[in-house]
Structure 1
């Protein structure tokens, strides 16, 4: 039994410490992703069909890993009264980051989609990424309320940044997928988390600066694209009917 360091919960809280169990499952989780990361992110030249097949196998293994976790390592996001040791929460966050990693190459409508289309579409990839980003936000909130972020592992910076990047993409593009949640709220949670992490890790401050810069750039590009479409539509609308050509 243990009381986690940095805990702000009640002093009587005592939780089983499944450190060894976490370590074994963390290794298994990383091994699932390590075999496909080089191919998915373009370091190995393969066809789009091969990349999609590899991703589908990796996703299946990830889901099987997650569904097969022992009760000590499971987290019920809908159960706000649940109490978990910090490394279990971080393990769950890592799983969702890997789900984002595997699906993120396929969120483009055309760039990574094989032709003819096979497997899930880009909408599925976007929805999965958003669901995992929201889950990371929820886990981060639970971690911060129970333990604060001052002593969290540095891995949290990368995890939270991955979630925030997806949420920026979704909010700027006004993509909701199948979720009925306020994505802006979860984006704010991740940004506040990076700001708090920046008090301990300098790379978190840099990550937040990059994130806000990307958001501004995407918003500016979106405004330019919308303006161009409106001007093009206006020209077509106000253009007079074509004159008949006569042969003289």
Structure 2
């Protein structure tokens, strides 16, 4: 009869799988927190678009319209022949130059003041009876061209502002999608690891135990096992060996 083998060192099943579950919960929690942070970033960007960016875009659009109206009124001053019509256009020019949307933009404000000053001089000269000159209109054409460039710059600023905010939101959504894929891969990895560990440390040892019990008899040699790291499996294997030794002892007594 073989002696009782010393019990190998190992771990309890509840500790091993509890540790695995703890690592999974920790990693999954960190991933969820990162996803929540990205989601909050997207929400903040959308809120900023609604609360700040959209009003800013509207302000740029209004500024561009005012500058375009300023240029049209300047053209009208040179186009009409009635002093009353010129005074009316000049009044509109003064209103536009003092509009808050124009004054808030340094470049547009400077351009509007220069336009107002030039057109005011032209209207006063014509009111004093001075004849029109081609040089005045050429100077206005150059000023009108600069106004057009300023309008383009303002429009581009509004577009860039919207594009920047939208790009930030898009980047946050892409990052959240990548992290979600990582979380899915992480979940798949842990599920695979769990299945492998269960098969290796529980299912396969239990299959060997079942086979050993099916063939357990005094005529058969002592069952051998690839010792599992699980203490519970080791206890069952040790019990089978002790039972086999007891069968041999009983068989010898009967003889």
Flag whether TM exceeds 0.5 (same fold).
no
* TM-score, normalised with respect to structure 2: 0.24
TM-score (norm 1): 0.24
Structure number, greater radius of gyration: 2
Greater relative contact order (CA < 8 Å, ≥ 6 in sequence): 2
